[in-house]
Amino acid sequence: MKYTEDDLKKELETKEYEYGFYTDIESETFPIGLNEDIVRAISAKKEEPQWMTDWRLESFRYWQQMEEPEWANVHYEKPDFQAISYYSAPNGKPKYDSIDDVDPELLETFAKLGISLDEQKKLAGVAMDVVIDSVSVATTFKSTLAEKGIIFCSISEAIREHPELVRKYIGSVVPQRDNFYAALNSAVFSDGSFCYIPKGVRCPMELSTYFRINQANTGQFERTLVIADEGSYVSYLEGCTAPSRDENQLHAAVVELIALDDAEIKYSTVQNWFPGNKEGKGGVFNFVTKRGICEKNAKISWTQVETGSAVTWKYPSCILKGDNSIGEFYSIAVTNNYQQADTGTKMVHIGKNTRSTIISKGISAGKSQNSYRGLVKINRRADGARNFSQCDSLLMGNACGAHTFPYIEVDNKTAQIEHEATTSKIGEDQIFYCNQRGIDTEKAIALIVNGFSKEVLNKLPMEFAVEAQKLLEISLEGSVG
C-alpha cells in the first residue's frame, strides 16, 4: 500500500508527546496558594539564612503590587496564582552519595529521557546538576570541578555554603521588581543552579542542568546564577522536557549571568516542554527572565532553541556595561499547532565600542503565532557601538502568523545599527528538487528547515546540536502538505 502524505499527517497528528510520562515519586508538596507564610515556609524548608528570607519577603511584597503584563503578543488564560503549589520535592534522602542510592524510579525517568546518569558519567565532559521538580538530587563531576576551584551546585546549597557570593550577586542583574514574573520567582524560587568560575579559569567541561516539571500542579520556579570572574570562561547548557499534563503548568524562571572583566559566558538552551496537544489544550506557560551583564571586554552569548511550551515569553538580554564588551543572541523558535511564542532579546549598549549580534529564526506552522520582539538601545555615551540584527521568519500554511517588533533606540551619533528581516515560505521548487533526487517531502522539509536555521544550530555545543536538529524535525513533522 502506498504511504501517502495524508497517512503521514494523520500519524503525526495522533502522535503523542514523546516525553509525556509521569513518574510517581512520593513528593512532599506544599498546600496550594501563596502568602507570606508560604514564602517563609519555603525559606525555612531550604534552611536559608535570615537575609534570604527577608529578600524573598521583600520580593513577595513587590509582586503583590504588580500587575501581570499584557503587552506581549500572546493570548492565554491567566494562571490563578492561588491555585498553584509552590514547593514540591522528591521524597527520600535529600542527597545521594553515589548513584546507587538514587531512587530507581528516578533513574528510569532519566533513562526514558535518554540521559541516564551512568551514561552521563561515562560520557565525560558533561557534568549534570539534575533538577527534578525543584530539588537537586544528584550532582556529578563535582570533584573534578572543585579541583579548579569551580563551584557548581544547586542554588540552595550555594546560599548555605557561599552566602557571600550569592548575597552580592543575586538580584543584581534582574532586580526583584524587574517584572511581574521575576518578582514572583524571587519570592518563591525553589531551586536552581549556581555556578562560579574563579579568576582566569577556563571551565574544562560543558556545565549542564536538566529541568523537568514533574509533579502535577506545581509551578517550577528555578533560579540560575552564573558568575564568571575576571578572565574566565564557561559554557553552560540547559535543557528541558516536561510530562504531558492537561492543566497548564506555570514556569517562571530567572537566569542571571555576570561576566566580569575579560570573562566569557556561553549559555545554551534547548526548550522542549509540553506544547499542548493539537487542539491547543494543556501545555506549559513559560515566562522567563534571562539577563546577563558584561563588564569590560566581557562576552555573553545566548543560544536558544525553543520548540516547546504552549506560551513562551522570554527575552534573554545583555547589558553591555563595560567598554569593548560583546553580546550575542542566536535563536530558533519553532511553533506548531496552537503554540504562541513571543521571544527576542534586549541589547543595551552602555560602554564604548560595544558590539552586539542578533540572529533570530522563527518558524511557524499549524495555527501558531510566532513573534520576535527585540530592543537595541544605544546610550548617549556608548561611542562606537555596533549592532547587527537579522530576523527571518518561515511560514508554513496560512493559518499561522509571524510577527516582528524590533525596537531601536539610538542616542549616539557614532552608533552603527543594521536591522533586517525577511519572511518567506518553503518553495515548491525546493521541495521538487529534493523529491526528484529521491528525498521524500518530509525529509526535504527537514533539510530546508535545517538549512534555514543553520546559523543558529552551528552555535550550539556538539551535544545539543544533534538533539536540537532532531527536535526541529519532530516539531515540524506533518506541518506541510
Partner 1 sequence: MDLKDKLLTSHIAFEDHLKADSPLHDLRSNALKVFEEKGFPSKKEENWKYTSLNSVLKEDYSFSPKGESVIEFKDVKKYFLHNVDTYKIVFIDGVYSSFLSETTHDNIDVCLLSSALDKSKYKPVIEAYFNKAAKKDGLTQLNTAFTKEGAFIHIPKNKEADKPIEIIYFSTGNEAAMFLQPRNLVVADENAHVQIIERHQSLSSNAVLTNAVTEIFADKRAMVDYYKIQNDVLSASLVDSTYVEQQRDSICSVHTFSFGGQITRNNLQFKQLGEHCDSILNGITIIGDKQHVDHNTLVHHIAENCESHQDYKGIFDDSSTGVFNGKVYVEKEAQKLDAFQQNNNILISDKATINAKPQLEIFADDVKCSHGCTIGQMDSEALFYMRSRGIGEKEAKALLMYAFANNVLESVKIPELKSRINKLIANKIGVSLGFEL
Q: Which of 64, 200, 420, 433 binds partner 1 (CB under 8 A)?
A: 420
Which of the stretches 14-22, 125-133, 399-407, 451-459 binds partner 1 when contact is defined by CB under 8 A? Answer: 399-407
Phi-psi region of 80 (alpha: psi -120 to 50; beta: other; left: phi over 0): beta
Q: Does 416 contact partner 1 by CB under 8 A?
A: yes
Q: Minimum Å distance from CB 388 to partner 1?
A: 10
The footprint of partner 1 on residues 273-292 (CB under 8 A) is none
CA distances from 468 to 94, 114, 214, 270, 458 (A): 32, 14, 22, 7, 11
Q: Which of 217, 324, 353, 423 binds partner 1 (CB under 8 A)?
A: 423
Q: Which of 159, 311, 410, 448 binds partner 1 (CB under 8 A)?
A: 410
CA distance 264 to 436: 46
> Residue 324: which H helix or E strand, with range?
none
Question: In one letter, which amino acid is 324?
Answer: N
Binding mask 352-381 for partner 1 (x = CB under 8 A): ----------------------------x-
| Contact present, 338 and 369 (Cβ < 8 Å) | no
| Contact present, 115 and 140 (Cβ < 8 Å) | no
Q: Minimum Å distance from CB 348 to partner 1?
A: 14
Binding mask 193-232 for partner 1 (x = CB under 8 A): ----------------------------------------
Q: Does 411 contact partner 1 by CB under 8 A?
A: yes
Q: Does 400 contact partner 1 by CB under 8 A?
A: yes
Report DSSP letters for 174-221, one per residue: S-TTSSHHHHHHHHH--B-EEEEE-TT-B-SSEEEEEEE--STTB-B-
Q: Which of 8, 32, 99, 421 binds partner 1 (CB under 8 A)?
A: 421
Q: Which of 33, 403, 450, 473 binds partner 1 (CB under 8 A)?
A: 403
Q: Which of 35, 64, 91, 424 binds partner 1 (CB under 8 A)?
A: 424
Q: What does the angle CA 12 – CA 15 – CA 17 come to, to the nearest 5 degrees? A: 125
Q: Is 171 exposed, middle or buried (0-12, 13-18, 19+ CB in 10 A)?
A: buried
Query: Which is nearer to partner 1, 73 or 244 (by Cβ)?
Result: 73
Query: Which is nearer to partner 1, 36 or 409 (by Cβ)?
Result: 409
Query: Which is nearer to partner 1, 127 or 480 (by Cβ)?
Result: 480
CA distance 63 to 185: 9
In this structure, the strands spanning 193-197 and 151-154 are antiparallel
| Contact present, 102 and 96 (Cβ < 8 Å) | yes
Q: Which of 14, 50, 65, 398 binds partner 1 (CB under 8 A)?
A: 398
Residues at the interface with partner 1 (CB under 8 A): 71, 380, 393, 395-425
